[in-house]
């Protein structure tokens, strides 16, 4: 999807094999890379990919607290407990500052019942347990109206529009997966161009599996992180052939075990390929918009997904990504068209207020496109 803003769920590091030092999402890392990150932070490395990502997300929100606790000196009672039953070791004693005093029974910088350096476990939000934001249905319906013409980039070059259904359901599902794998950090127009190149080459599991790394990398060279995506695609082809009888995994949990496939990608593929919505696919653009609307208060797309699932009715889960990603694209990339649609909508004042809240400078763009009178007539 085309980038609007940079997400806070990215890690500043060099991608293996890329060496560019650019921002990389946790979800774009392999299980081995995620485990390495966890190991460096002294965190458990067991579990499937989604668990590792969630653990890293939890760590990022509590790193400051963990570092503070880890640096606090041990109290005399702690030292006594640790050395009980062992030979005493003489260490130089430090003079106590006459200006500082300690409260009895407390160690400096330590909270009762917590081990120093250990991050508290984040409590997972279960679907249907949160109170919906005020007036969300009115805003959601307005966005559905503004998206009714299906004229955003995602409508022609997204994961639902590009795959070749006439080649059969198995090939269609494989192409859905490939389109989503290519889409990370890449504009839809580039994804569409690349998908059509691959379709000309022969975009079937068997043919891509037999394509060598250099050739495949050349075919997808225009997408972001093409070196890693080439590796992930070829590895995924091998896994699909050997473990899934030539068809892509049938659910999000299994899809997330494929290299380079995170929660967002897995839920969208599951929805398009199998008409199932076990979760909401949230990208960085949705993450930004829903925070702007105060529908969530989150630091990462994964936290946004969890909070949305906490209150959004399940019958909206399948369509929310497609509707809102396209809406965001039009607000950011097709400003004149969006202004005209807002003015012509059933609630023009509300529509203009909504796009303004999402970053469109209504007055500036109305003047630029000669729509000042139209906008003033409805405000």
Known catalytic membership, residue 84:
no
Exposure class string for 303-335: b at 16+ Cβ within 10 A, else e: bbbbbbbbbbeeebbbebbbbbbbbbbbbbbeb
Please answer whether residues 268 and 281 qualify as being in contact, where contact means their C-beta atoms are separated by less than 8 angstroms: yes
**Cβ contacts of 149 within 8 Å, gap of 6 or more:** 341
Distance CA 282, CA 287 (A): 7
> CA torsion sign, 331 to 157 to 275 to 177?
negative
Q: 35, 231, 264, 335: which one is catalytic? A: 264
* 8-state DSSP, 91: -
Distance CA 200, CA 183 (A): 19
Alpha helices in 258-371 (DSSP H): 263-274, 284-292, 301-311, 320-333, 335-343, 348-357, 362-368
**Cβ contacts of 345 within 8 Å, gap of 6 or more:** 142, 145, 146, 351
What amino acid positions are annotated as catalytic residues?
264
């Amino acid at each position: 999807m085309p980038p609007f803003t940079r997400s806070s769920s990215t890690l500043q590091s060099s991608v293996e094999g890329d060496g560019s030092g650019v921002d990389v999402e946790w979800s774009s890392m392999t299980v081995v890379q995620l485990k390495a990150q966890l190991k460096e932070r002294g965190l458990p490395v067991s579990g499937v990919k989604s668990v590792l990502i969630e653990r890293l997300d939890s760590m990022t929100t509590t790193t400051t607290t963990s570092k503070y606790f880890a640096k606090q000196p041990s109290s005399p009672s702690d030292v006594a407990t640790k050395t009980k039953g062992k030979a005493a070791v003489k260490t130089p004693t430090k003079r106590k500052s006459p200006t500082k005093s300690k409260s009895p029974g407390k160690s400096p910088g330590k909270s009762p019942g917590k081990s120093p350096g250990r991050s508290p476990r984040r409590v997972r939000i279960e679907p249907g347990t949160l109170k919906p934001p005020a007036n969300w249905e009115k805003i959601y319906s307005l966005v559905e109206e503004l998206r009714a013409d299906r004229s955003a980039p995602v409508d022609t070059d997204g994961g639902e529009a590009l795959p070749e259904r006439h080649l059969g359901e198995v090939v269609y599902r494989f192409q859905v997966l490939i389109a989503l794998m290519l889409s990370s950090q890449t504009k839809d127009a580039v994804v569409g161009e690349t998908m059509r190149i691959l379709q000309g080459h022969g975009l079937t599991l068997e043919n891509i599996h037999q394509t060598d790394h250099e050739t495949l990398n050349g075919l997808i060279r225009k997408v972001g992180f093409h070196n890693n995506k080439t590796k992930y695609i070829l590895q995924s082809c091998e896994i699909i052939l050997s473990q899934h009888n030539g068809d892509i995994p049938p659910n999000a949990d299994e899809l997330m075990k494929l290299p380079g496939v995170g929660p967002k990608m897995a839920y969208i593929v599951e929805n398009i390929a199998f008409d199932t919505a076990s979760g909401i696919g949230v990208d960085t653009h949705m993450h930004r918009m829903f925070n702007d609307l105060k529908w969530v208060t989150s630091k990462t797309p994964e936290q946004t997904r969890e909070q949305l699932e906490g209150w959004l009715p399940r019958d909206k889960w399948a369509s929310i990504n497609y509707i809102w990603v396209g809406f965001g694209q039009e607000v950011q990339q097709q400003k004149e068209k969006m202004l005209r649609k807002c003015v012509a909508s059933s609630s023009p004042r509300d529509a203009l207020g909504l796009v303004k809240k999402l970053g469109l400078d209504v007055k500036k763009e109305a003047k630029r496109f000669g729509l000042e009178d139209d906008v003033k007539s409805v405000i």
